[in-house]
Amino acid sequence: MIREFGGSDIVYLIEAARWTLLLALTATVGGGLLGIVVAVLRVIPFRPLNWLAIAWINLIQGTPLLGQLFVFFFGLPLVGLSVDAWTAAALSLSIYASAFFGEIWRGSLQSVSQRQWEAGAALGLTYAQRLSHVVLPQAIRISIAPTVGFLVQLVKNTSLTALIGFVELTRASQIISGATFAPLPVYLTAAVIYFVICFSLSQLARMLERRLHVAR
Amino acid sequence: MSYNFKFDVLLRYIPEIAQGVVLTLQFSVITMVCGLAIGLVVAMASISPLMPLRACARIYVEALRNTPLLVQLFIVFFGLPSIGIRLGANTAALIALSINMGAYGAEILRAGFESVRQSQVEAGRSLGLTAGQTFRHVVLFQAVKTIYPALASQFVLVMLATSVVSSIGATELFHQAAFIDSRTYRSFETYTLITISYLVLTLGFRAFFAGIYWLVFVRRPRR
């Protein structure tokens, strides 16, 4: 039965966008925690661990997210873990995000001038005190804007999980498009919803960049 | 439950994988060339003194950069036929990829234009160079040096992004994976192998671009 693309479909799309946001949020939390580990491994003065982090970053940033998604989706059941599309999506997006967060935060840490460490030492602070009271507050401020900027990539990339059947905004659009035979308005509506989310994040990142930069 | 990995059944499909690599490279190169051509026009518009042109460029860049490539691809492939534009999968894929790359290319090129200081142009002119000579000998080299790293990493990003177009049936490396998967029923091995192929491509190209950078911009005597 073919029906018209109407208001109820738009409501359905907006509801599906919740899954897009929830997935992006999950990947932000999961990827954030892993990203801290990656950033720390990348900077601590022990070469083999640095190499491990570099290998991780290269592996993740050097392969397509779609490939990672498929490897998880088809691979995990083979080691006995039954995965639904949500688990595969959340895991692979978290791992994907960890490489980028790791690099963003390493950059932020290293962009705090070496003299700040020395100044802390001159004041008689311990390593931990220098890190937590002098360096981290500055690094965190530097990292906020690029971190928010990366969230745009993350939201956009959740669309790929449609291809393993996870019902988020893009998959919902495919479903409605199949029912209404009106792909153009359906996908344009989806694009508008993505745009509203991502543009808000981009503007937020830009605003933070300007504000935190001026404040320095 | 233990799983027997059988990568050896994939050996038979090495010609398919090699073909997929070639196709992916074709997609990447065509996308980069067309995307940079679009990007050049948009970048010129974005620094033009005419407000409407600047606004159009801004809207183009923001719209394309804040929506997923996959949705853009679906609009071109599934959406356009309803207004009478019917495209093959490969054509639709190349159009969507190029339009998408155009937005990123515009930003890279604009940054390149803006990075060359006006005083460099004035210096060139005051040495008696014509506008054309100043552009060729003074501006161009510096601008290209500035944007080269961004272009190199964009090429790798484009290469990875092409995997998405397999979803509409465009033939590239990831599409070959689906083909091999359907023949062997070895999904996990197939997608692992294909993903590793991308890694090899990525690392290879990063090394290649770094080598070119060193040859052209580092080793070269000052000019």
Nearby residues of B186 by Cβ (< 8 Å), 6 or more positions away: B6, B9, B10, B180
Which chain A residues are Cβ-neighbours of B78 within 8 angstroms?
177, 183-184, 187
Contact B202 A63 (CB under 8 A): yes
Contact B3 A70 (CB under 8 A): no
Contact (CB, 8 A) for B205 and B155: yes
Picking from A162, A149, A159, the residue whose alpha carbon sits closest to that of residue A199 is A149
Which chain B residues are Cβ-neighbours of A190 within 8 angstroms?
71
Mapped onto helix, strand or coil, the DSSP state of residue A113 is: coil
Q: Give the one of A163, A183, A198 whose C-beta lies nearest to B82's C-beta.
A: A183
Average pLDDT per consecutive 10 residues, chain A (216 residues; last block may be shorter)? 80 95 97 96 92 97 96 86 89 97 95 90 91 91 94 97 95 93 94 97 94 66
Q: Which of A187, A194, A198 to mutate to test binding with chain B, by most B CBs within 10 Å of its CB?
A: A187
Give the helix, strand, coil percentages of chain B, each rounded to 5: 85, 0, 15
Q: What's the pLDDT at A45?
A: 86
The pair phi, psi for residue A46, each rounded to 5°, is -145, 105
Residue in chain B closest to A152 (alpha carbons) equals B66
* Min Cα separation B134/chain A (Å): 34
Rounded alpha-carbon distances, angstroms, from residue B108 to A156, B151, B214: 20, 7, 20
Q: What's the pLDDT at B3?
A: 67
- Number of A–B residue contacts, CB under 8 Å: 121
Q: What's the pLDDT at A77?
A: 83
From the number of C-beta atoms within 10 Å of its C-beta (0-12, 13-18, 19+), residue B169 rates as middle
Tokens read off for A129:
């005190």
Which chain B residues are Cβ-neighbours of A174 within 8 angstroms?
74
How much is the ipTM here? Answer: 0.91
Q: What is the rounded CA–CA span in Å between residue A94 and residue A35? A: 9
Contact A64 B195 (CB under 8 A): yes
Contact (CB, 8 A) for A62 and B163: no
Q: What's the pLDDT at B222?
A: 57
Which chain B residues are Cβ-neighbours of A156 within 8 angstroms?
66-69
* Min Cα separation A192/chain B (Å): 8
Would you tell me how many other CB atoms lie within 10 Å of the CB of residue B210?
A: 13
Q: What is the rounded CA–CA span in Å between residue B53 and residue A151? A: 29
* Min Cα separation B167/chain A (Å): 7
Residue in chain B closest to A181 (alpha carbons) equals B82
Q: Which 3-state string (H, E, C) describes B161-182?
A: HHHHHHHHCCCCHHHHHHHHHH
Q: Which of A4, A66, A159 to mutate to test binding with chain B, by most B CBs within 10 Å of its CB?
A: A66
Would you tell me how many other CB atoms lie within 10 Å of the CB of residue B205?
A: 18
Q: What's the pLDDT at A2?
A: 67
The pLDDT tens digits along chain B (223 residues) read: 466 777 777 888 999 999 999 999 999 999 999 999 999 999 999 988 999 999 999 999 999 999 999 999 999 999 999 899 999 999 999 999 999 999 999 999 999 888 887 888 888 889 999 888 888 888 888 888 899 999 999 999 999 999 999 999 999 999 999 999 999 888 899 999 999 999 999 999 999 999 999 998 888 655 5
Q: What is the rounded CA–CA span in Å between residue B41 and residue A96? A: 33
B69 touches chain A (CB under 8 A): yes
